[in-house]
């Protein structure tokens, strides 16, 4: 009988793999790495993306940007893709895991502090940015940074200083944050820090996500600034913002009353300067109204931003006196609200200087509007213009073309009102049954 010796491995110790097993494991890991490489290999394509366009324009304008969005929405991925597209080195700093001294600098005692003082040594990431001379500084998880860290970030965001070190002009700053309700131990942003940023609210686009997971993401591109339009863009931006604030001086500085709103965009001289810069860049780059709205509202807040955009629309309206001087050649806005505002401005101009020739020219402008747009917009200005008639002014023949339209529109309005009243009465009757 042959005896067999059984060797047992000590408890808790894994037996050593054979060389062939180790080689097979390495091979499988290499194959796994190849698969991961294929999954991570994506391409980009030019594709309209208002969020990305607004972000890129704000970065080009050298304004600090804060991207708000729920966890997993793609904020970090957008910044990574932006840095790659712009060929900027990306430096990511998680604000919530740093101490205030990591941004204000660490005191280093030299040989003779009484003579040389105590310099504030910057962290490694800041030194590397200065060495590179350019880059994208990404301050992530900003809403989970403590108030002390937020205070230390004030000079970094506004003055680009980290301790005693001045960041080069080629460094852009972008931050990201989750709303307090969805942040890990989140804090509201302090008003001084929030007012230093242009706030963009990131949401996912279904088509962008699906196509991106398929391997093709939108390409971030710098705005195409037209050199010939730069002086005109600056003049327009200054005229727009200054003219608006002259009319609405209470909006020059308005600190919100709630803590949450103080942590977002709100109007101040600093944020109006940012809005002016964005307006100049957007005008020079011929961006869409939607992109411009995202940027302006992100600088001064929703309410003041919408008011400024409405002011811009009024700035583009044709001069009423020009329309009255040559009604046959009148070029009226196509958008309904702007067209009606233009016609009402014409009537107001006639009322400011009521003369028979101007009154008749006003009717000619309304006839021109009848032939180039929706007739229902003429009811209010036609009624107001008719009320300006003096007893010795004869009604021009052009008015005959408007009488039927105005009467028809009024009958339609009365019909809608009767239907609405009947529906309300029926609902009330049904409720009491």
Is 387 part of a structural domain of the chain? yes
* Same-domain status, 391 and 260: no
Q: Is 419 or 50 the better-scoring residue by pLDDT?
A: 50
Instruction: Report pLDDT digits (tens) over 91-135.
Output: 999 988 888 888 887 777 666 666 566 677 788 899 999 999 999
* Same-domain status, 186 and 89: yes
* Same-domain status, 100 and 204: yes
* Same-domain status, 62 and 179: yes
CATH of the domain at 206: 3.40.50.300
* Same-domain status, 67 and 173: yes
Decide which of 284, 315, 346 is a domain's last residue: 315
Q: What is the per-residue pLDDT for 78? A: 83
Q: What is the per-residue pLDDT for 116? A: 61
368 has a pLDDT exceeding 80: yes
Q: Which two tokens stand for residue 317?
A: 């309206």
Interatomic CA distance for residues 120 and 164, integer angstroms: 6
* Same-domain status, 57 and 205: yes
Q: What is the per-residue pLDDT for 23? A: 73
Helix, strand or coil, per DSSP, at residue 320: helix
Q: Are 88 and 135 in contact (CB under 8 A)?
A: yes
Interatomic CA distance for residues 408 and 166, integer angstroms: 70
* Same-domain status, 88 and 195: yes
Number of domains, the chain:
3
Instruction: Report pLDDT digits (tens) over 306-353.
Output: 999 988 988 878 888 999 999 888 888 888 888 888 898 899 999 999
* Same-domain status, 75 and 158: yes
pLDDT band at 172 (very low <50, low <70, confident <90, very high): very high
215: left (phi over 0), alpha (psi -120 to 50) or beta: left
Q: What is the per-residue pLDDT for 396? A: 81
pLDDT band at 28 (very low <50, low <70, confident <90, very high): confident
Q: Are strands 198-201 and 165-166 parallel, antiparallel or unpaired?
A: unpaired
- Share above pLDDT 90 across residues of the chain, in percent, rounded to a whole number: 41
Instruction: Report pLDDT digits (tens) over 199-248.
Output: 999 988 888 889 888 988 888 888 889 899 999 999 999 999 999 999 89
pLDDT band at 34 (very low <50, low <70, confident <90, very high): very high
* Same-domain status, 329 and 307: no
Decide which of 218, 249, 268 is a domain's last residue: 218
Interatomic CA distance for residues 308 and 241, integer angstroms: 7
DSSP sequence for 130-191: HHHSEEEEEEE-GGGS-HHHHHHHHHHHHH-EETTEEPPTEEEEEEEE--GGGSTT--PPPH
Is 406 part of a structural domain of the chain? yes
Q: What is the per-residue pLDDT for 4? A: 46
* Same-domain status, 145 and 160: yes
* Same-domain status, 311 and 325: no
Q: Which two tokens stand for residue 13?
A: 């110790």
Decide which of 159, 194, 218 is a domain's last residue: 218
Name 417's Cβ contacts closer than 8 Å, sequence gap at least 6.
Answer: none
* Same-domain status, 412 and 333: yes
Range of the domain at 307: 227-315
């Amino acid at each position: 009988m042959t005896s067999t010796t059984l060797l047992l491995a000590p408890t808790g110790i894994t037996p050593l793999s054979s060389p062939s097993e180790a080689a097979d494991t390495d091979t499988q890991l290499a194959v796994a790495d190849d698969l991961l490489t294929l999954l991570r290999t994506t391409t980009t394509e030019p594709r309209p993306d208002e969020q990305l366009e607004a972000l890129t324009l704000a970065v080009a304008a050298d304004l600090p940007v804060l991207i708000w969005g729920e966890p997993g929405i793609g904020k970090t991925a957008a910044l990574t893709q932006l840095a790659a597209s712009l060929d900027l080195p990306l430096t990511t700093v998680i604000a919530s895991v740093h101490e205030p001294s990591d941004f204000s600098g660490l005191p280093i005692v030299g040989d003779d502090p009484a003579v040389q003082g105590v310099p504030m040594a910057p962290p490694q990431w800041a030194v590397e940015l200065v060495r590179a001379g350019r880059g994208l500084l990404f301050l992530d998880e900003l809403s989970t940074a403590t108030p002390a860290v937020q205070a230390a970030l004030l000079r970094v965001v506004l003055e680009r200083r980290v301790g005693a070190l001045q960041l080069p002009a080629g460094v852009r700053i972008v931050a990201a944050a989750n709303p307090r309700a969805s942040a890990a131990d989140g804090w509201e942003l302090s008003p001084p820090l929030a007012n230093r940023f242009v706030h963009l609210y990131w949401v996912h686009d279904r088509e962008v996500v699906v196509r991106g997971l398929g391997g093709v993401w939108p390409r971030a591109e710098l705005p195409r600034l037209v050199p010939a339009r730069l002086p005109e863009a600056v003049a327009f931006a200054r005229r727009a913002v200054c003219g608006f604030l002259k009319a609405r001086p209470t909006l020059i500085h308005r600190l919100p009353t709630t803590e949450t709103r103080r942590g977002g965009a709100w109007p101040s001289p600093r944020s109006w300067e940012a809005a002016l810069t964005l307006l100049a860049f957007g005008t020079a780059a011929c961006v869409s109204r939607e992109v411009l709205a995202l940027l302006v509202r992100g600088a001064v807040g929703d309410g003041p931003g919408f008011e400024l955009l409405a002011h811009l629309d009024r700035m583009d309206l044709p001069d009423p006196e020009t329309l009255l001087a040559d009604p046959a050649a009148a070029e009226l806005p196509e958008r309904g609200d702007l067209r009606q505002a233009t016609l009402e401005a014409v009537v107001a101009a006639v009322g400011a200087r009521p003369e028979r020739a101007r009154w008749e020219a006003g009717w000619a402008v309304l006839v021109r509007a009848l032939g180039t747009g929706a007739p229902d917009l003429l009811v209010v200005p036609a009624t107001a213009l008719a009320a300006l008639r003096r007893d010795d002014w004869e009604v021009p023949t052009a008015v005959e073309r408007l009488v039927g339209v105005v009467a028809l529109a009024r009958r339609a309005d009365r019909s809608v009102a009767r239907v609405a009243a009947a529906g309300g009465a029926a609902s009330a009757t049904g409720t009491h049954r």
